[in-house]
Amino acid sequence: MATLAVLRPVKLGSQGLEVSKQGLGCMGMSAFYGPPKPDQEMIDLIHYAVDNGITLLDTADVYGPHINEVLVGKAIKGIRNKVQLATKFGIGYENGNRFIRGDPEYVRAACEGSLKRLDVDYIDLYYAHRVDVKVPIEITVGEMKKLVEEGKVKFIGLSEVSASDIRRAHAVHPLTAVQIEWSLWERDVEEDIISTCRELGIGIVAYSPLGRGFFTGKAVVEELPDGDFRKSVPKFHPENLEKNKILYERLSLIAA
């Protein structure tokens, strides 16, 4: 487990939300990184994380779809007051095809669905998972603002978004967090996203900070199971992986 310094409570953004500095992303328990893992093992894992100081749990309705929210909901029974729950809406599948929606009707229906699956009265941090280019961001965030006013959501955020959209959204209702992929091999966000968030007092939540497993120092990325979406990521293609492993070895020397 991480040190106590890493897990100490920190302010996420400037709207009042406090979370452990390190969070637990729950996606891989149910989706995208091979087949779903056994429920009880994952519940035990979540309990272990919370017992050791992690309070921010991250999920989304599309993980599964839906089954990860159900899993997390089961895991936080009896410890709801110890965690800050983050989930997301906006990505879905219909007849095998992916869609992105941010219209008010969908936002509200998605929130109600997440509340039911998680079996909670409110969501601490509710993200728009992706921006629906067919709907002005002001309209999407306007409905999220209503959810806050109704007490169904405490704080709101955006995931994978441009600096311009961050500013437009923040003008409608203050954003607490922006979630982005940020690691040693994903640094484009340093060009304008990070500075925009810092300027506006918006917290930054990095996902895949260990390069989707690459920086863990394990062979997990070399023998990916069937159904693992990382097989489609160029960084993990054999010819690129060999080059990246050379860089990793150099990095390990510096770290040591």
H/E stretch holding 149: helix 137-149
| Tokens 């993990």, residue located | 236
Rounded Cα gap, residues 30 and 28, in angstroms: 5
CB atoms within 10 A of CB 237: 13
Say which residue the tokens 């260990």 belong to.
210
Residues 6+ apart with CB under 8 A from 50: 79, 82, 83
Residue 62 phi, psi (nearest 5): -80, -10
CB 164 within 8 A of CB 194: no
Backbone angles phi, psi at 158, to 5 degrees: -130, 155
In the chain, the amino acid numbered 87 is T
How far is 172 from 247, CA to CA, in rounded Å? 43
Active site members: 63
Q: How far apart are CA 247 and CA 256, in angstroms?
A: 14
